Structures are given as C-alpha cells and as structure tokens.
Amino acid sequence: MLWMTWRQHRVQILVTAAFLAALGIALLVHGISVSGALGDDPSGARARDRFTEVSTVLGWFPLVPLLIGIFWGVPVLAGEYERATHKLAWTQSVSRGRWLLAKLGGLAAVVVITGLAFGAMISAWLGVFDGTGLAGHRFADPGLFTVSGVVPAAWWLFAFTLGVAAGAVAQRVLPALAITVGVFAVALFLFMTNRDGFAAPRQLEVTAADQGVGPDTYLVGSRWLDGQGREIDGDAVDRVCVPAGAPLTESAYYQGGCRQLIEYQPADRYWLFQLIEAGILLTVTAAFVVTTVLRVHRRTPTARVG
C-alpha cells in the first residue's frame, strides 16, 4: 500500500521537495551575504533593505499550505472517487481502514516533516537578523509568524487533512477544491487577525519620547491619555497634548502632561503563541480525520469484481 501511495502521489512529493530545496538554497545564499555585510552597516539601513526584499516575498508564503490542501489533500479521496479506483481497492483483501491508513498516514507524515523543514529554514534565515531589531518581525508580522517556528507544520497538516475531508464529503474534485479554499481562507484570516488575543497583552505607560517597547515585541495597540487619565480621540491629540506654539515634534506630545498607553505582547511569548496556534490547528485536524474516517466507512460496500 505504501508503494502504491508513492506511485499515486510521487509528483506532489517530488515537486514539494524541489520547492524546499530551492527555498533552502536561496535563503542560505541570502543569509550568508547579509551576515557578511552587517558589520559594515552601523545604521542598519542596508540590513533593513535586505530584510525587506525577502520578507516581502515570504509574506505570501502563508498561502503555501493551501497548495498542500489542493494538490496533496483533495486528490487522496476526491480523485479516487471520480475515477472510481477506490472500488478496486475495497474489493481486494485490503480493508478500508488499512487502505485509508496507508494513504492518509503515510502522506501526513511526509507533510509534517516537510512543514517542519519549511519553518526551520525560514527561522534560520530570520536568525541572521538577531540583534538588528528586525528578527522581532517573526512575532509581530502575521505572515512571518505563520511561516516560522513549528506553526508551518501544523498549518500544512491542517490544510492536507482539510483537503482529504473535503474530498470525502464532496466526492468530486471541484467541489472539494471549493470547500478547501473557502475553509482555509476563513481559518487563515481568523488566526492572522485574532492571534494577539491568545494571551492578555501587557500594558506600558509612556511619558517621554525616549520610552517605549522593544523592537522584538508584538505591538497590539496604543492610545493617548490626558493628564487625568481620560482617553483622547485621535483627531484631538495635537490640540490637547501639544502646547500652543510648540513645534510638532515627538517630545512635544508629552509636554502637556499627556501619556501614551501601549498594549503589547512581549517577545518571550513567541513560542507560547506558536504552541497555542499549533494546538488549535491540530485539534481541528483531528476533527477532519474523524470526519474522513466516518465518511469512508459509511460508503456502501461494492460487490467483489469478477
């Protein structure tokens, strides 16, 4: 069964391996060139430029798991049902459970391994920028958080089992594709816009321009307060906080007694948030697997051919 699974899905496996190899080489070459230039870049301007030229591309990589769901997950069952090749497997000596375990288990293991490799390569590249204030983007930037650490493996497995479950339910490729794209898009949007709520943010009152949170923190939000602690509407900050006739400099906002309340997630919560997100995704993944198993076993058995 494992050999048959390889024969049926070797194109996806080889294409993914080639993608990871190309990505690894590109990040390695870029990282080496950046690390060699950091010593001659006291202002950090060159580092920011080099960081941006790659991070802009990586900002699209949270969509990579969707490709796993489409090209790895959907064909596992939807493709079998459309071609009716599942009937041959189910009328042989192989049980449905063993057939599904071989297809789902073997591919899922490969998905997890490749997802971990994907996240490790991007994390290693981000490590080149440690000490520059740019590495903190792995936490603060929703896209970079999604493609670094251990979360990519959870997202890849989530998308894969989503595609399989969609195929088990729809039993046709195109409807399964639509379900996979729709559910994945909603899930990605919800995580990227609500991730800062995994834990209550810390608060910092800033009373001078030289105060603030570190560059590696995840900024949740901020608001201005007057001398009595009342929140100031954004349009009125200049009028309330800056003394009459004073230039609009950053320090001028604090001269009138105003202060800024900053809500943030500290950098040391990065791995906590990674584990929380991975745990949620794996829980939903388990639900997809259960759905798939129930749908496969519910199908009417087909009489033995011949």
Inter-CA distances, 293 with 49, 97, 112, 210, Å:
49, 8, 20, 58
| pLDDT tens string 141-174 | 899 999 999 999 999 999 999 999 999 999 899 9
Residue 210 DSSP symbol: T
- Number of neighbours of residue 224 by Cβ within 10 angstroms: 19
Domain ranges of the chain: 2-198+269-298, 218-265
Mean pLDDT in residue range 47-58: 87
Is this model's pTM higher than 0.85 or not? yes
* % of the chain beyond a pLDDT of 90: 49
d(C-alpha 126, C-alpha 270), whole Å: 14
Which residue in this structure is represented by tokens 């993608």?
A: 19
- Mark out the alpha helices in 129-231 (DSSP H runs): 137-140, 142-147, 151-170, 173-194
| pLDDT tens string 165-182 | 999 999 899 999 999 999
First to last CA, the chain: 22
Q: What angle do CA 42, 124, 17 make, to 5 degrees?
A: 140
Q: What is the pLDDT of residue 58?
A: 94
Is residue 292 within 8 Å of residue 103, measured between CB atoms?
A: no
Tokens standing for 109?
A: 């293991």
